[in-house]
Structure 1
Amino acid sequence: MSLVLLSLAALCQGALSQEPTIQCGSENGPSPEWLVSHTLTPGDLRDLRVEPVVTKSSSILMNISWILRADASIRFLKATKICVSGKSNVQSYGCVRCNYTEAFQTQTRPSGGKWTFSYIGFSVELNTQYFIGAHNIPNANMNDDSPSLSVNFTSPGCLDHLMKYKTQCIQAGRSVLNGWLPLLLAPLAALWMLAVGICLLRRHERISTSFPTTTLLPPIKVLVVYPPEICFHHTVCNFTEFLQNHCRSEVILDKWQRKKIAEMGLVQWLTTQKQAAEKVIFLLSNDVNPVCDGTCGKSKGSHHENAQDLFPLAFNLFCSDLRSQTHLQKYLVVYFREAETKDDYNALNVCPRYYLMKDAAALCTKLLHAERQALVGKRLKACHSLSSV
């Protein structure tokens, strides 16, 4: 009798258990799980699709749907992160994180179908190229292959049956017509568009909170300065790639702006870039790689001469900022091995120092914190300008 009761209780509990759903919110920086090492992580997605949809407020948003891969690693799945970048007259970037409300107990739905989810968000603009990438969380550990899935999507113009509901297309009106008919219908069309605009505005105000919005933060500008003995291809390029891919940084290098340096002069270029950058990183290493000499070259007019001229100039600008604590916070020192700074540049010891790859997570956190501070500073400056009008 007891065995029968236990079996019935198990069946009832299984019937009452809820299937996982998603709760989505904005997450533009790196996920917290990226900073922690995981023994086991989930695999990649099986499918990712994107299509535009019209909301009740006549807004055009992306309907992003994905299918989970049916394997044993689904038990370790906590969330799925989706990032969207748009390229048109204005570039945009934003990410959303969708947490699963329940742990996955089975590789497929109890009904036998695959686990499928969808998220509606990210505004679709006219004639814009979008790159949509998605990966599961917790993601792969640092220096491991990170499984992800991506698709491209290009939005059409006003002639599309969905995009015609965009405000720009509605304001353009009745253009497909020609001859005398537009002249007769112009007053009526103007009144109709005004009424539609007022109606859409009121409806948009009532239900605009139904869909989450994503704040698109610009990447932080980082000026990287390095001494001539560091190999550009083996060290500087790898470090630059790390900043761009993991720390949301827009890197400024003299190697990439030779034309501007020739036009402005090295001193003027360096002063301008130092003022524009939120952070200045002195990249140091006492490890001289013999392979580097053949790759980078030391011939007349080579990049070694430019780096040799740039590093002392950057160090002199740093020394001029030693008396200002505000300016001094802009500088960081990054090492590829633990070693003291040379006597000629021992003044850099007052700067925060990081060792790669041991302090990679801390370095990214520092740069992302500077990104938020820069955004707050721009908002405060804008508010001050409005209040003084």
Structure 2
Amino acid sequence: MRTLRTTNMAAIYATLVWFFFTTGLAPSSFLGILNQRPDCNQAGLDSCQMNNCSVRHALVPRQRAPTGPEWGSEYLGVRLVNRRPVPVMNVTWTLRSDASILTLQGSELRIVDKSTKQSLCVYFTYSISQQLRFNSSKWTFSLAGVVVEAGHSYMMSAFNLPEPDVGDYRITKQVTVPGCNDKRIRSSQMCLENGSLWHPEVTPVLLVGKHHLLSVVVGFRADVYSDLYQVSIENRGVHLSQNVSRVGGISTSASAAEEHPECFQVEGRRKVVIIYSLDHPLYRNIILKLSAFLTARCGTEVVLDLLDSTRLGILGRVQWLDWQREEVEGSSAKILLLCSAGVQAKWRAMCGGKTLLLKEDQRSPTGDTLTPALSLLLPHLVGSASLEKYIVAYFGDVCSPEHVPWPFHVVVRYQLMKQFEELFFRILDTEKHGPGRVQHIRGLAEDKYHRCPFGRALQEAIQAFREYQLENPHWFQEECVNH
């Protein structure tokens, strides 16, 4: 989100504020390497190659192990990946020029994203017969093209091989990638989608109408990455705000009405309270991306514990949840339960009189809000009058219908993102199918939602968790603290 403030003529004393809604929230995270070739083009290297860290290294007595390396400088910039600019970092380290270098067999470098816990590990093997290079400088190696994210912090560790059997010569340091205001990465795709280079070219015009009433017409240039904007005018304590959409609307199409499609505008801003389980950092990222998609692309007011931690901390989890339930029952708002492996496991634990805690519950400042939510909401779900307030869904690529607790089988269950359009019609209290017509919401179909920045970020987050699950089939058992 990008904010711009400007002051109109002195006679008006007004402040115009633009809110630029883009993908927002936490960016989809990916930690990888673009350059899989090691820096081996150095004279004097007998052998050199790079592998992953699946090999188990041998240990040697401490006096026969090489001393630890030294950190070099980092380079941060932007490179094209599949025609999309992404921020990358080059990590450099040097070898100490003592006699232990002659026992060196290689080096291992590990990088961990502190936000998502994703990690990569690279094992360099090389043989060196001289303490210094031909020009009397230290041996220097680098891992080039490490894909990083703006605003994320990374913990890096490096050590030389073979390792000593007692102690270690490991070196560590933390590197924080700057935000999108840094000129080195503001041209990356994620920063562009968050308005890093947006210039609205505002043109406020003062109009005088009948009875000497004043009005202000505001014009600005839209950004290629955003469909929704908020324009506000502040003047001597008076605050007026207006949402402006470049696309929006619901269109109707059918064989009998294709020539004259009906359109109608969604009135008001619908509210959705999202209930979920903190199964994994990558799943939490999906929840945040869905919230951004609903907010920025669909114009929905999303209530999420992660985004309301201050109020939740003041009221407490039960009181905060009960307050949200009362707000929903007295309005057109909905409660959206996103089912996953954690939802099913925590429900079963409740049935057995136990409490299941996940690692991400311990890390989160809000803790586990799902278990008290289930205890609080289920009694209200029994009444048929309350059924319309609840929506149950699951992400088909990373979850399954079996993850839906049996009490929620009484309501319709939506598979995301395949049935997201149907789910959004439920949020709007609008029927998709009518006599002789089928209504569609532009850009929300399964094969189209990812064409906007908000949807693409959500799709990438789902794919990242899907790939992690395939590589780690026992991931959920590993996330359980007291299973």
Q: Same fold (TM over 0.5)?
A: no
Larger helix percent: 1
Larger strand percent: 2
**TM-score category by the smaller chain?**
0.3 to 0.5
